[in-house]
Structure 1
């Protein structure tokens, strides 16, 4: 485990970006804009928003400057405001915690004071992963009106229980990225909710009417894409496209541009054979190639958010991706068709250990959670 730097609560680190912007040759059909026509990359300021957390899985904005933070193993949701943390809910009786599964991703609609959480749960038939919705009171101090929105995601030991939520900007859809529970048949079984990106109505819990298999009477009516291993991040670009971030096996972490009904090619059978390709083009049908892949070894890519705002200079419009094993944030630039143009790896973001989630705030700053197990914190990253 990488040791965190000792610092005060108001720590601010200001360093210029290291010269680690690696260009990638774009496809001939999508030429890269000249680097000389883009503004320079900014220096970055990193501040600690709150500390004393344990394995925080997600951070989202509430109302009035509040942040909501989930902690996986503590099964605790906290409200952070002006550097102070207080507990909104302790969900230990509701949440099943095992291995990589516990209290995971959050989604927040601040205007309606609605909160969604993805988490492990116990049932009479064994553990599962599910999405639950609550209302928050006007002072953001209590949760009520609990409703299980969607349930039945497979779970085994807790391995590959990753679950990421994303509210689509337009309409009523909630996107849910799921892990395959380390069961080889789940990713391509359209009636299993594991190894998928799902699309559900955020209020009713029903399938969205334009889902690829919406007319089905089985679980596949919720499926948006399939053939995934362990989805860790979801992010929607300004053009409306949705992108996922996925853990690879011993190679090939992936960033994927999602195509409705798309097959992303993970099929580790018989058993759970992790020697197969992350995107196996020998399977029937057409498999979607990754927009970015780590190759070998993996860096355990996790949460992601699109960077927005002229203040970010040449990083404006990139996808910020956190890495656990890699202990960094990468900024990936893609063209309009999803072709990779460049990768930027600022050194200033390589000194906080394992990084789990990235959230874009309303003013364009980034919030990042560390995931070192003890003394974890939420960082706020802004350009100088």
Structure 2
């Protein structure tokens, strides 16, 4: 018997209606001229806005000539696959390295090891020590990582306390386990502390198993929402009254969530890898179905958002079309010093080797896309997070001699 969800959202056969204002915008058409004729020192021309079926093309937004000149500094070197960077108290940065399973603290250009977690982190393929979240007020740190439990691999979220000097971890606790893993492919995993509640959001991958994204009793291919300390399902989750794993589910139908970012209005947005097409940025709606259903088997020829499925699927706010650029981490840009980039979503690209700035209006409609030339040619870029002064922190992911970069407007 299928449990009845608490609120309006329902299981896949009767999923919530899509947000009609959302646009799926293709980067494949490179002949567009949103910013034609503007100085290339400010930004490269943005791609054309080619709408998906049923969408309306958004008009061009602000002039890219107002965009600031960007300064890029290296604040940490000699890293290998740094997956995430988060700011901690006292100007410190905390960095995770996927394959080394190492947590580092960076301060004033010097790196030291906070913890070597190889004994507790399972590393394989795309899975290892992944996303971090830091609560500076309580010196609490969360990490998402591969793990082994009773001889089986999984992805889990673990919480630690950090001492006042940020030199030692203690009070280890598993917040949530049982996120599926197979070979290490499509392991996710992005963490986000909700500013407006005690929730921790967890973006997961489908582990390359076709049935996971739309199976509400699998934690794979989802955005999950749990209490950040107890790991309990949040009481206002769409299926919180149900038994089983679906009580943790906030949204479903995802392929491989790589980014989560919360806008100033409280809305949460996800970034995920497409297959051979359609990387996506999605505005998340509680209980929403985002339409990835690669069955039978693992059929990657299906659309990222398949509107032929039963029920209603949420349309992407932005989609790369073909080719993909392998979008990853993201952060909302904030501060008048950013000029016309203030209020945009900065999205890192691995294959695309750049940071893309996307402007959405208050209804989630894409207005323009800017690709600053200063943020291209830096190699594969994994994470973008915000420092407290508004600067952006970016990790490269080239596998050797990787860096943490600090991007600030001059």
TM-score (norm 1): 0.93
Taking a change above 3 Å as real, the CA distance of residues 252 and 31 of structure 1, as seen in their structure-2 partners, is: closer
Whole-angstrom distance in 1 between the partners of 2:217 and 2:73:
44
Q: State the partner residue of 1:277.
A: 303
**What 5-or-longer segments of structure 2 have no aligned partner?**
1-39
CA contact (8 A) 1:193 1:223 kept: yes
Q: 1:93 Cα shift?
A: 0.2
The CA RMSD over aligned residues, in Å, is 1.8
Q: State the partner residue of 1:45.
A: 71
User: What secondary structure, in the 3-state scheme, does the structure 2 residue paired with 1:220 have?
Assistant: helix
Report which stretch shifted further, 124-133 or 187-196: 124-133
Q: Of 120, 124, 138, which residue of structure 2 is paired with 1:94?
A: 120
1:56-67, aligned counterparts within 5 Å? 56-67=82-93
- Tell whether 2:399 aligns with 1:358: no
Whole-angstrom distance in 1 between the partners of 2:291 and 2:394:
30
CA contact (8 A) 1:16 1:42 kept: no
Q: Of 230, 243, 263, which residue of structure 2 is paired with 1:217?
A: 243
1:216-365, aligned counterparts within 5 Å? 216-365=242-391
Q: Of 85, 110, 134, which residue of structure 2 is paired with 1:108?
A: 134
Q: Over residues 8-46 of structure 1, what are the superposed CA-to-partner deviations in whole Å (9 max), with x where a residue is unaligned? A: xxxxxxx9323424574999999869636x981100000
User: What secondary structure, in the 3-state scheme, does the structure 2 residue paired with 1:221 have?
Assistant: helix
Taking a change above 3 Å as real, the CA distance of residues 25 and 270 of structure 1, as seen in their structure-2 partners, is: closer
Q: State the partner residue of 1:200.
A: 226
Q: State the partner residue of 1:18.
A: 43
Whole-angstrom distance in 2 between the partners of 1:73 and 1:254:
26
Q: State the partner residue of 1:157.
A: 183
CA contact (8 A) 1:25 1:341 kept: no
Taking a change above 3 Å as real, the CA distance of residues 239 and 140 of structure 1, as seen in their structure-2 partners, is: same
CA contact (8 A) 2:221 2:253 kept: yes
CA contact (8 A) 1:117 1:133 kept: yes
Q: State the partner residue of 2:148.
A: 122
Count of residues in Structure 1 that have an aligned counterpart in Structure 2: 369
Q: State the partner residue of 1:35.
A: 62
Whole-angstrom distance in 2 between the partners of 1:226 and 1:346:
33
- Tell whether 2:102 aligns with 1:79: no
Whole-angstrom distance in 1 between the partners of 2:71 and 2:154:
40
